[in-house]
Amino acid sequence: GELEGEDLGLFIGRRGQTIDAVQHLATRIVQRDAGEDERVRVTIDAAGWRERRREALEEEADEAAETALSEERPVSLEPMSAAERRIVHQHLRDREDVETHSEGDEPRRYLVVSPVIP
C-alpha cells in the first residue's frame, strides 16, 4: 500500500529503516495467516520513497562502477539491506566491465563493485 500525508519522514525513518521494519512485520503477519505453503510479499511505501530510493541506489551504483573503472580498484558501498543490495546487483549485472559481490555480516553487510580486468 501507498501512504500519503504529513510527517511521513518519521514513518520512513533514517534510510528507510522504520518503513522496512513495518513492511517486514506486515509480511510476517500476512504470511502467518496465509500458511507456510504460500509465499507472500507485502510492500508498503510512503510518498513514493521506494522509487526514489531505487533511483538513488542505481545512481550510486553507476558512480561506483565508474570510479572502479577509472581508478582500477574495487569500490565499497555503504552498508545496506539485502533488498537494497539486490537492487544494485540487478542494476549492474548486465555490465561486462564490472562485477559485484557482498561482504561483511548483517546488519553491516555491504556491496563491493570491482572492475573486470580482461
pLDDT in tens, 58-112: 999 999 999 999 999 999 999 999 999 999 999 999 999 999 999 999 989 999 9
Average pLDDT over the chain, rounded to whole? 92
Q: Where are the domains of the chain?
A: 2-46, 51-115
**Contact status, residue 61 vs residue 54, Cβ threshold 8 Å:** no
The CATH homologous superfamily to which domain 51-115 belongs is: R3H-like domain (3.30.1370.50)
Alpha carbons 56 and 53: distance in angstroms, whole number? 5
Check residue 117 and give its pLDDT: 84
**Contact status, residue 77 vs residue 110, Cβ threshold 8 Å:** yes
Strand ranges, E, within the chain:
2-3, 45-46, 75-76, 98-103, 110-115
Check residue 64 and give its pLDDT: 98
Alpha carbons 110 and 95: distance in angstroms, whole number? 20
What amino acid occupies position 103?
E
